[in-house]
Structure 1
């Protein structure tokens, strides 16, 4: 059974922010979060190739298994889980399907994202409810959840340590949190640079004769540019793994540890995703999708089995963190 907080219906603004709203958001971080994520909500799964089939179930479970101790994995599932900054529900919904938790709650500052996440949960037949919520003040009682998860959310939160304190508060004693997909400082620098170079090169190339059919309509490109302007505003932090561990310890967590992933995989992934955003949907076809996925999978294996042995943890693009509420 799926519920949607009525606030999700009452608060959702126009999903396409105007230039005036974008300018106002430059001075209001949380307004920027709502505008950007409401704007992206209905197309977010397509943009980031998110699905709720075995491909993404395996991906979500892989991130979880990479950071949680093996002996705890043998006791799954957790009874009740919370996803913080759920977006479209990608992480928690796939983790539930993977047998990590029986039931869950999704929260996000964006009403549009809560709508999509709960709708996705309903279509999958999962036991999920949703609330519009601020990660710095989670609207649940102390000792409510066995597990709290999030994917690519901490870098959007103004006060990360305050949010982690809230996470520890709503966890039951002995409960665990897992956050994945957070950008490292070094990784974010090269990923942004590669994405920017790819965007500029692709737009210029598509102005050549014979390539006009490969270019999205100018109105869509202009809209993407306005969305990108908001994206620069909503991405508030990058992390050094040791600093993130210290924040979690300061928040009261124990058994804190980090792991990182995607080095060469990120160097492929960011140009690929950027190129895809400039091309009309469906233009690239199945062959391209197979190349992109297999290329990312292969380089992820290389990163995990070779580069991880010699490259510092902070040079990888993504860092994940876990910790436990003291019993």
Structure 2
């Protein structure tokens, strides 16, 4: 698994001047923020390439395409980050080989390294989602996780996905924030950050406080995050965007309501305290709590709470002209 030799080099330590410039240049912000996050992103979001995340990725796929004939021959992950979605889908048997693309050289570097460590047949390219650098009719599947909300022109990106798909090929995107879900998640995160960073100023809690320079760097990263997160989605409007792009068999699902109300404060707290304080027992307890609340969402709340109130949206569609999968 390799990245192209002419790929730009990552820039993992943006200066304050670069951050200020990025505030008015979205593409620069995307590169700086994701290069900044690349080497620590898997740890930050508890991403792994074992059974836990294989099951999570496959669960997102099956939620919108429960009966796909597998495996797909060749898949592309758009905005791959560290390769979480495609690499885990490949391990679950969804695709035989694939390609990863991202605007961030740092993310492509980590994703290709992760794929190499897993022994998977995947190559990587630094690429803009609005101009995908592959020929027409190349892939059987295009996928992505938490990527569409970073793309300036989502409809154009989906048109590009359909262009590089073979007739009958399918795209599947998961992890996209809903408009209502993003509102309450951000408010909960902001409140948790403020409370945690203030309380840990108390002398008897000083060992729970991260060094100020690390908190300042997190704050600069958060400032970029506010720039790179361009969209939230109403599920019905996301379906309309996919249809305007030319897709057929379009369908959206949502997930995480109780799980999001719990998860966002927990993740923010974890980002505000030293890693050494977060024991294995603590992490497993939080994971089990999230699993339980996710099951509550799936078994009960999805039947009584309107889908637009859930945090994550998933969308799928098919390129016309083939039998579909």
Q: Name the TM-score class by shorter chain.
A: over 0.9
Match of 2:179 in 1: 185
Match of 1:31 in 2: 28
Displacement after TM superposition at 1:305 (Å): 1.0
2:64 aligned with 1:40: no
Partner SS for 2:276: coil
Aligned positions of 1:177-256 closer than 5 A: 177-256=171-250
Cα distance in 1, alignment partners of residues 251 and 205 from structure 2:
49
Tell me, yes or no, if the aligned pair for 1:7 and 1:111 is still in contact at 8 Å.
Answer: no
Tell me, yes or no, if the aligned pair for 1:155 and 1:182 is still in contact at 8 Å.
Answer: yes
Cα distance in 2, alignment partners of residues 104 and 313 from structure 1:
32
State the Cα deviation string for residues 165-190 of structure 1 (Å, max 9, x = none). 00000000100100000000000000
Displacement after TM superposition at 1:12 (Å): 2.5
Partner SS for 1:227: helix
Structure 1 runs (4+) deviating above 4 angstroms are none
Match of 1:259 in 2: 253
Cα distance in 1, alignment partners of residues 227 and 41 from structure 2:
18
Match of 1:158 in 2: 152
Tell me, yes or no, if the aligned pair for 2:30 and 2:228 is still in contact at 8 Å.
Answer: yes
Cα distance in 1, alignment partners of residues 11 and 104 from structure 2:
12
State the Cα deviation string for residues 245-298 of structure 1 (Å, max 9, x = none). 111101110000000000010011100110001111131201210111011100
Aligned positions of 1:1-327 closer than 5 A: 2-8=1-7, 11-70=8-67, 72=68, 75-327=69-321
Provide structure 1 residue ranges, at least 5 long, that are not aligned to the other structure: none
Partner SS for 2:137: coil
Tell me, yes or no, if the aligned pair for 1:184 and 1:314 is still in contact at 8 Å.
Answer: yes
Displacement after TM superposition at 1:13 (Å): 4.6
Tell me, yes or no, if the aligned pair for 2:11 and 2:106 is still in contact at 8 Å.
Answer: no
**Count of residue pairs the alignment pairs up:** 321
Cα distance in 1, alignment partners of residues 276 and 84 from structure 2:
22
State the Cα deviation string for residues 187-243 of structure 1 (Å, max 9, x = none). 000000000000000011101121111111111111101000000000000000111
State the Cα deviation string for residues 115-148 of structure 1 (Å, max 9, x = none). 0000000000000100000000000000000000
Cα distance in 2, alignment partners of residues 287 and 120 from structure 1:
26
Provide structure 2 residue ranges, at least 5 long, that are not aligned to the other structure: none
Cα distance in 1, alignment partners of residues 45 and 148 from structure 2:
18
Instruction: State the TM-score, normalizing by the size of structure 2.
Output: 0.98
Displacement after TM superposition at 1:69 (Å): 3.7
Cα distance in 1, alignment partners of residues 13 and 223 from structure 2:
13
Cα distance in 2, alignment partners of residues 272 and 69 from structure 1:
31
Tell me, yes or no, if the aligned pair for 1:12 and 1:38 is still in contact at 8 Å.
Answer: no
RMSD over equivalenced CA pairs, Å? 0.8
Tell me, yes or no, if the aligned pair for 1:78 and 1:100 is still in contact at 8 Å.
Answer: yes
